[in-house]
A and B are shown apart, each in its own frame.
Chain A
Amino acid sequence: MLAQQLFNALVLGSVYALFALGFTLTFGVLRVINLLYGFYVAAGAFAALVAVQSLGLGLWAAGAFGVVTAGLVAVVCDFLVLTPLRRAKAPELSSLIVTLGGVLLMNSLMQIAFGAEVRRFPARLLSQDAIAIGPLLVAPIQLVIIATVFVLVAALFWFMERTRLGTAIRAVAERPDTAALMGVNVGLVVSGVSFLSAALSAAAGILIGLDFNAVHPYMGEPMMLRGFAIIVIGGLGDIRGALVAGLALGFLEVMTAGYLSSNLKEAVAFTALILGLWLRPNGLFGRASGKRA
């Protein structure tokens, strides 16, 4: 029983970690709390759904389609909405609000386009039969989640460390002005980060859509709140922190639901957040890049 719970926690935590990763990337580099981030969860899920239903694509192809589409939408949205503010050197608050307006706009557009009722991925995409692995009963989707998250996170780390764009992104995250002076194409970096983070968000959305068998325009909202908690606990802009905090939150939620009460599950994220801010305001590893001297 405990082993099963732990496994479920791993699965949930992986999705949270994936989501938080993109969110913290956006914050770490672009220095904005981008409320649109939650929108890409739904955008990716719907794009994948359309790919399956209208284009007849299989699981992985549809997933890739959803992820790329969401990334491109993000590049456009972020460009339209955030670039003018960045040029005007507006305060953080303005970015928060403008993305609020943006997410209001985009969510309602999506609702008009797709309707508010809950959709489902067709069952044929993935086997629904549980597999017995030792004492555990594992659903195929859970394996897909763990594998996907693992691969994406590894790919992200490789990208950040080994490619030019990745290095450029890290440079801009540290010191945007110096990076620009060094010839880094900041515009390209910003677009790259928009794309990457939205892709991660979309991936999380597609996985959630498959796991809970529900896709609807506002599915990103509950994730956003948890995302806030995770990135603050993990340390704003800290990738390792986001991973650890995401997994930890998944663990806490599953344990709370299993052993205390599922009603309290909702409060776990924010209680952890408040405790985290109180005890370790610079994140788990003390490397939050929020404020500089």
Chain B
Amino acid sequence: MMTTLDDLLWSYQSLIYGLGTNAILGLSMYAVLQLGQLSLGQAAFMGIGAYTGALLTLKLGLPFPLVLAAAAAAPALAALVIGGPTMKLSGVHLAIATIGLGEVLRVAYINTDAMGGALGLSGIPEKADFSIIFGLLAVILAGFILASRSKIGRACEAIREDEDAARVMGIDVSAYKMTALVISAALAGLAGALNAHFSSFIGPNEFAFETAVSILSFAILGGVTTPFGPVLGAFVLTALPELLRPLHDFRLVFNGLIIVLVVIFLPRGILGFRIRRTGKPPPC
């Protein structure tokens, strides 16, 4: 009896932590989508962060804060490297190239014994807890909200609406895109490491195509006009399969159906409202 109760709490804990890390992933998606960039490398960056974090904990036993910092830095560095070439791409090309990154890495992980090969890494100690995960989420969300309401938010929206017009307004579009990519990578890596440290196991197939599109759907469902959107989208799409569990095989059917219906009938996502970007309203 006690074991079942423990199992129950443990599985809910997983769900709740998952809500937090998926929300961070949603924000990582938001970082690039708010510039209108279809960069879908979050799953790949998440993987880099997860493996970095797991290996640092398992092999070197480093303290957790350091591990998290490294897990955010590693994919950020990778983003700096791929950022240059991908800058030239747009729309569909960018989307496909960045999804492809995840696939290439997946094969790399499978073929590298140090990373556990096809079996992945297991036995990762549970170092992530509620306050760490949701504390980080709160700070990140606050950062996005504050940035949105400042000149940075205006610049981002301008880039999203019309890149050339934005350039002519004195906005360094390339710098913004690169920064967004690096931030997106760091956040995804962070989420990956947090995830690794409560699910205690990571495998090469968790950071590829399905995950990339799944993260994208958080943002689309919730809407990308405010930072709250992807967070809400992540909450809904993470909790939904659990809530639908009694439906067994039908839960994926419902998952898919919900995505279809929301995109068709709520094109701006659930939270379609805009954040005002001028701070206090002027005395007119």
Contact = CB atoms under 8 A, between A and B. Distances in A.
Contact flag (A, B; Cβ within 8 A): yes
A275 to B, nearest CB: 10
A103 B256 contact: yes
A261 B253 CA distance: 38
B228 interface: no
A188 interface: no
A143 to B, nearest CB: 32
A216 to B, nearest CB: 15
Indicate the member of A92, A100, A278 with the most B CB atoms within 10 Å. A100
Nearest to A95: B263
A75 interface: no
Main secondary structure of the interface of B (DSSP, over half): helix
B101 A274 contact: yes
Nearest to B110: A263
B250 to A, nearest CB: 7
Interface in B79-120: 85, 88-93, 95-97, 99-101, 103-104, 106-108, 110-111
Contacts of B90: 291
Contact of A94 (B104, B107, B220, B257): B220
Nearest to A84: B264
B255 interface: yes
Contacts of B216: 96-97, 100
Contacts of B96: 33, 228-229, 232, 273, 277
A232 B257 CA distance: 29
B209 interface: yes
B257 A105 contact: yes
A221 B99 CA distance: 14
A281 B88 contact: yes
A277 B87 CA distance: 11
A92 B260 contact: no
Contact of B38 (A85, A93, A232, A271): A93
Interface string A76-112: 0000010011001010111011101111111111011
B256 A101 contact: yes
B241 to A, nearest CB: 11
Contact of B209 (A93, A225, A277): A225
Contacts of B85: 277-278
Contacts of A278: 85
A266 interface: yes
Interface residues of B, number: 40
B258 A101 contact: yes
Interface string A106-132: 111101100000000000000000000
11 contacts: A81-B264, A94-B220, A100-B217, A104-B255, A106-B256, A108-B253, A263-B107, A264-B107, A274-B97, A277-B97, A290-B91
A266 B259 contact: no
Interface string A244-287: 00000000000000000101101101110110011001000000
- Max chain A Cβ within 10 angstroms of own Cβ: one of B90, B253, B255, B263: B263
B267 interface: yes
What band does the interface of chain A fall in when counting residues whose beta carbon is under 8 Å from B? Answer: 35 or more
B275 interface: no
Contact of A101 (B92, B107, B257): B257
Interface of A: 27, 33, 35, 81, 84-85, 88, 90, 92-94, 96-98, 100-109, 111-112, 221, 225, 228-229, 232, 236, 261, 263-264, 266-267, 269-271, 273-274, 277-278, 281, 290-291
Contact of A273 (B97, B253, B259): B97
B62 interface: no
Contact of A105 (B97, B100, B107, B260): B260
Interface of B: 38, 85, 88-93, 95-97, 99-101, 103-104, 106-108, 110-111, 209, 213, 216-217, 220, 249-250, 252-253, 255-261, 263-264, 267
A107 B253 CA distance: 8
Contacts of B97: 232, 273-274, 277
B174 to A, nearest CB: 17
A290 B93 CA distance: 9
Given A101-B257, A228-B100, A291-B90, A108 B250 contact: yes
Contact of A92 (B92, B213, B263): B92
Nearest to B224: A93
A281 to B, nearest CB: 6
B92 A236 contact: yes
Contacts of A267: 103-104, 107-108
Nearest to B82: A274
Contacts of A270: 100-101, 103-104
Contact of B107 (A33, A106, A266): A266
A271 B220 CA distance: 28
A112 B249 contact: yes
B268 to A, nearest CB: 10
A195 to B, nearest CB: 21
Contacts of B88: 281
A277 B260 contact: no
A89 to B, nearest CB: 10
B103 A225 contact: yes
A277 B263 contact: no
Contacts of B217: 97, 100-101
A94 B106 CA distance: 27
Instruction: Identify the 4 closest CB pairs spanning chains A and B, nearest first.
Output: A101-B259, A105-B256, A104-B256, A108-B252
